Chain A
Amino acid sequence: GAVVSQHPSWVICKSGTSVKIECRSLDFQATTMFWYRQFPKQSLMLMATSNEGSKATYEQGVEKDKFLINHASLTLSTLTVTSAHPEDSSFYICSAHEVSGANVLTFGAGSRLTVL
Protein backbone atom coordinates (compact mmCIF):
# COMPACT_ATOMS: atom_id res chain seq x y z
CA GLY A 1 0.00 0.00 0.00
CA ALA A 2 0.85 3.66 -0.09
CA VAL A 3 3.57 4.81 2.29
CA VAL A 4 4.28 8.29 3.57
CA SER A 5 7.66 8.91 5.14
CA GLN A 6 8.52 11.72 7.54
CA HIS A 7 11.93 12.92 8.59
CA PRO A 8 13.16 13.54 11.18
CA SER A 9 11.06 11.49 13.57
CA TRP A 10 12.38 13.42 16.56
CA VAL A 11 14.14 16.75 16.72
CA ILE A 12 15.26 18.96 19.58
CA CYS A 13 16.26 22.53 18.89
CA LYS A 14 17.05 25.74 20.68
CA SER A 15 14.55 28.53 20.92
CA GLY A 16 14.92 30.95 18.02
CA THR A 17 16.19 28.45 15.50
CA SER A 18 14.30 27.05 12.51
CA VAL A 19 13.48 23.41 11.93
CA LYS A 20 12.52 21.71 8.68
CA ILE A 21 10.39 18.58 8.57
CA GLU A 22 10.12 16.55 5.37
CA CYS A 23 7.18 14.52 4.17
CA ARG A 24 7.65 12.15 1.26
CA SER A 25 5.20 9.97 -0.60
CA LEU A 26 6.91 6.74 -1.51
CA ASP A 27 5.96 4.99 -4.75
CA PHE A 28 3.14 7.40 -5.51
CA GLN A 29 2.62 11.02 -6.40
CA ALA A 30 0.74 13.40 -4.17
CA THR A 31 -0.44 16.70 -5.57
CA THR A 32 -1.90 17.49 -2.16
CA MET A 33 -0.53 16.80 1.28
CA PHE A 34 -1.92 17.79 4.65
CA TRP A 35 -0.02 18.92 7.71
CA TYR A 36 -1.49 18.25 11.14
CA ARG A 37 -0.37 19.22 14.60
CA GLN A 38 -1.12 17.13 17.67
CA PHE A 39 -0.69 18.22 21.26
CA PRO A 40 -0.30 15.57 23.97
CA LYS A 41 -3.46 13.56 24.50
CA GLN A 42 -5.37 15.66 22.00
CA SER A 43 -6.70 15.29 18.51
CA LEU A 44 -5.10 16.26 15.26
CA MET A 45 -5.48 19.85 14.23
CA LEU A 46 -5.25 20.53 10.53
CA MET A 47 -2.69 23.26 9.98
CA ALA A 48 -2.54 23.56 6.22
CA THR A 49 -3.06 21.91 2.88
CA SER A 50 0.11 21.71 0.84
CA ASN A 51 -0.41 22.06 -2.90
CA GLU A 52 2.25 21.01 -5.39
CA GLY A 53 3.46 23.95 -7.41
CA SER A 54 1.37 26.56 -5.63
CA LYS A 55 0.91 28.21 -2.28
CA ALA A 56 -0.30 26.25 0.69
CA THR A 57 -3.77 26.81 2.08
CA TYR A 58 -3.62 27.57 5.78
CA GLU A 59 -6.36 26.98 8.32
CA GLN A 60 -7.67 29.86 10.34
CA GLY A 61 -5.38 30.82 13.17
CA VAL A 62 -2.26 29.23 11.72
CA GLU A 63 0.56 31.72 11.09
CA LYS A 64 1.79 31.46 7.52
CA ASP A 65 5.10 33.13 8.29
CA LYS A 66 5.66 30.88 11.27
CA PHE A 67 4.96 27.60 9.53
CA LEU A 68 6.40 27.72 6.04
CA ILE A 69 5.21 25.01 3.69
CA ASN A 70 6.84 24.13 0.41
CA HIS A 71 5.58 21.47 -1.99
CA ALA A 72 8.17 21.60 -4.71
CA SER A 73 7.62 18.18 -6.20
CA LEU A 74 4.94 15.53 -6.46
CA THR A 75 6.59 13.44 -3.76
CA LEU A 76 7.90 15.97 -1.26
CA SER A 77 6.38 18.56 1.01
CA THR A 78 8.31 20.37 3.72
CA LEU A 79 7.19 22.19 6.84
CA THR A 80 9.61 24.71 8.32
CA VAL A 81 8.96 25.99 11.81
CA THR A 82 10.67 29.36 11.85
CA SER A 83 12.08 31.01 14.96
CA ALA A 84 10.82 28.17 17.08
CA HIS A 85 9.61 28.73 20.62
CA PRO A 86 8.83 26.23 23.37
CA GLU A 87 5.11 26.54 22.65
CA ASP A 88 5.80 25.16 19.17
CA SER A 89 6.81 21.88 20.74
CA SER A 90 4.39 19.33 19.39
CA PHE A 91 3.88 16.25 17.25
CA TYR A 92 3.62 17.16 13.58
CA ILE A 93 2.07 14.66 11.20
CA CYS A 94 1.75 14.82 7.45
CA SER A 95 -0.56 12.85 5.22
CA ALA A 96 -1.36 12.25 1.58
CA HIS A 97 -4.10 10.50 -0.31
CA GLU A 98 -3.84 6.89 -1.33
CA VAL A 99 -3.63 6.27 -5.01
CA SER A 100 -7.06 4.64 -5.02
CA GLY A 101 -8.52 8.06 -5.62
CA ALA A 102 -10.92 8.07 -2.70
CA ASN A 103 -10.55 10.61 0.04
CA VAL A 104 -8.57 8.28 2.28
CA LEU A 105 -5.43 9.55 3.93
CA THR A 106 -2.16 7.75 4.50
CA PHE A 107 -0.24 9.22 7.40
CA GLY A 108 3.42 9.59 8.08
CA ALA A 109 4.78 8.35 11.39
CA GLY A 110 5.01 11.89 12.69
CA SER A 111 7.79 14.19 13.80
CA ARG A 112 8.14 15.16 17.43
CA LEU A 113 9.55 18.65 17.88
CA THR A 114 10.91 19.76 21.23
CA VAL A 115 12.01 23.37 21.52
CA LEU A 116 14.21 24.16 24.50
Chain B
Amino acid sequence: AQSVTQLDSQVPVFEEAPVELRCNYSSSVSVYLFWYVQYPNQGLQLLLKYLSGSTLVKGINGFEAEFNKSQTSFHLRKPSVHISDTAEYFCAVSESRNRDDKIIFGKGTRLHILP
Protein backbone atom coordinates (compact mmCIF):
# COMPACT_ATOMS: atom_id res chain seq x y z
CA ALA B 1 0.00 0.00 0.00
CA GLN B 2 1.11 3.52 -0.67
CA SER B 3 2.15 5.95 2.05
CA VAL B 4 3.36 9.52 2.28
CA THR B 5 5.87 11.04 4.69
CA GLN B 6 6.23 14.73 5.25
CA LEU B 7 9.35 15.08 7.32
CA ASP B 8 8.71 18.56 8.68
CA SER B 9 5.61 19.34 10.71
CA GLN B 10 6.44 23.05 10.71
CA VAL B 11 8.70 25.21 8.57
CA PRO B 12 9.42 28.84 9.51
CA VAL B 13 10.83 31.07 6.79
CA PHE B 14 11.31 34.77 6.35
CA GLU B 15 9.21 36.63 3.82
CA GLU B 16 10.76 36.75 0.35
CA ALA B 17 13.09 33.85 1.20
CA PRO B 18 12.96 30.54 -0.69
CA VAL B 19 11.31 27.49 0.82
CA GLU B 20 11.28 23.75 0.28
CA LEU B 21 8.70 21.44 1.83
CA ARG B 22 9.77 17.81 1.75
CA CYS B 23 7.67 14.85 0.76
CA ASN B 24 8.64 11.22 0.36
CA TYR B 25 6.40 8.39 -0.68
CA SER B 26 6.43 4.64 -0.79
CA SER B 27 4.63 2.50 -3.30
CA SER B 28 5.10 -0.74 -5.14
CA VAL B 29 3.71 0.60 -8.38
CA SER B 30 3.68 3.81 -10.37
CA VAL B 31 2.30 6.73 -8.46
CA TYR B 32 0.55 9.98 -9.05
CA LEU B 33 1.49 12.78 -6.70
CA PHE B 34 -0.22 15.93 -5.50
CA TRP B 35 0.32 18.94 -3.28
CA TYR B 36 -2.66 20.59 -1.64
CA VAL B 37 -2.82 23.76 0.45
CA GLN B 38 -5.24 24.39 3.30
CA TYR B 39 -5.88 27.85 4.65
CA PRO B 40 -7.34 28.14 8.18
CA ASN B 41 -10.86 26.73 8.51
CA GLN B 42 -11.09 25.95 4.83
CA GLY B 43 -11.05 22.92 2.61
CA LEU B 44 -8.09 21.88 0.50
CA GLN B 45 -7.04 23.49 -2.75
CA LEU B 46 -4.91 21.74 -5.35
CA LEU B 47 -1.51 23.41 -5.83
CA LEU B 48 -0.10 21.06 -8.44
CA LYS B 49 -0.05 17.47 -9.57
CA TYR B 50 2.24 14.98 -11.25
CA LEU B 51 0.50 12.42 -13.40
CA SER B 52 3.10 11.79 -16.11
CA GLY B 53 5.54 13.58 -18.39
CA SER B 54 7.97 16.22 -17.20
CA THR B 55 9.20 15.60 -13.68
CA LEU B 56 9.21 19.32 -12.90
CA VAL B 57 5.67 20.44 -12.28
CA LYS B 58 4.58 24.03 -11.98
CA GLY B 59 1.51 24.94 -9.98
CA ILE B 60 -0.42 27.93 -8.81
CA ASN B 61 0.88 30.79 -6.66
CA GLY B 62 4.44 30.34 -7.92
CA PHE B 63 4.95 26.88 -6.45
CA GLU B 64 6.67 24.03 -8.24
CA ALA B 65 7.61 20.46 -7.38
CA GLU B 66 9.97 17.89 -8.79
CA PHE B 67 9.21 14.20 -9.01
CA ASN B 68 12.30 12.12 -8.27
CA LYS B 69 11.60 8.46 -8.79
CA SER B 70 14.99 7.21 -7.58
CA GLN B 71 14.66 9.10 -4.32
CA THR B 72 10.89 8.57 -4.11
CA SER B 73 10.45 12.25 -3.42
CA PHE B 74 8.16 15.05 -4.53
CA HIS B 75 9.44 18.15 -2.76
CA LEU B 76 7.57 21.44 -3.07
CA ARG B 77 9.48 24.67 -3.66
CA LYS B 78 8.91 28.36 -4.02
CA PRO B 79 11.74 30.82 -4.74
CA SER B 80 10.25 33.71 -2.75
CA VAL B 81 7.45 33.33 -0.23
CA HIS B 82 4.83 35.86 0.72
CA ILE B 83 2.94 36.32 3.96
CA SER B 84 -0.16 35.02 2.19
CA ASP B 85 1.54 31.65 1.76
CA THR B 86 1.03 30.95 5.45
CA ALA B 87 -0.99 27.73 5.44
CA GLU B 88 -0.87 23.98 5.87
CA TYR B 89 0.53 22.03 2.94
CA PHE B 90 -0.31 18.41 2.27
CA CYS B 91 1.45 15.99 -0.02
CA ALA B 92 -0.72 13.18 -1.36
CA VAL B 93 -0.29 10.03 -3.43
CA SER B 94 -2.49 7.78 -5.48
CA GLU B 95 -1.57 4.56 -7.18
CA SER B 96 -4.05 5.02 -9.95
CA ARG B 97 -5.43 7.53 -12.37
CA ASN B 98 -8.77 5.86 -11.81
CA ARG B 99 -11.26 8.39 -10.58
CA ASP B 100 -12.58 6.03 -7.97
CA ASP B 101 -9.28 5.19 -6.30
CA LYS B 102 -8.48 6.82 -3.01
CA ILE B 103 -5.78 9.38 -2.40
CA ILE B 104 -3.63 9.13 0.72
CA PHE B 105 -2.41 12.28 2.44
CA GLY B 106 0.71 13.03 4.43
CA LYS B 107 0.46 14.59 7.88
CA GLY B 108 0.98 18.06 6.55
CA THR B 109 3.58 20.80 6.95
CA ARG B 110 2.65 24.12 8.44
CA LEU B 111 4.42 26.97 6.70
CA HIS B 112 5.07 30.01 8.90
CA ILE B 113 6.09 33.15 7.10
CA LEU B 114 8.08 35.50 9.31
CA PRO B 115 8.01 39.24 8.60
A contacts, CB < 8 Å to B: 4, 6, 31-32, 34, 36, 41-44, 46, 49, 93, 95, 97, 101-110, 112
Contact = CB atoms under 8 A, between A and B. Distances in A.
Nearest to A57: B102
Contacts of B36: 107
A104 to B, nearest CB: 6
A110 B108 CA distance: 17
B32 A103 contact: yes
Contacts of B108: 42-43
B36 to A, nearest CB: 8
B41 A104 contact: no
A50 to B, nearest CB: 11
Contacts of B44: 44, 93, 95, 105, 107
Interface residues of B, number: 27
Given A102-B97, A105-B46, A112 B41 contact: yes
Interface string B18-55: 00000000000000101010000111111001010000
Given A44-B44, A112-B41, A104 B34 contact: yes
A44 B90 contact: yes
B103 interface: yes
Nearest to A10: B41
B98 to A, nearest CB: 6
A44 B108 CA distance: 9
Contacts of B104: 46
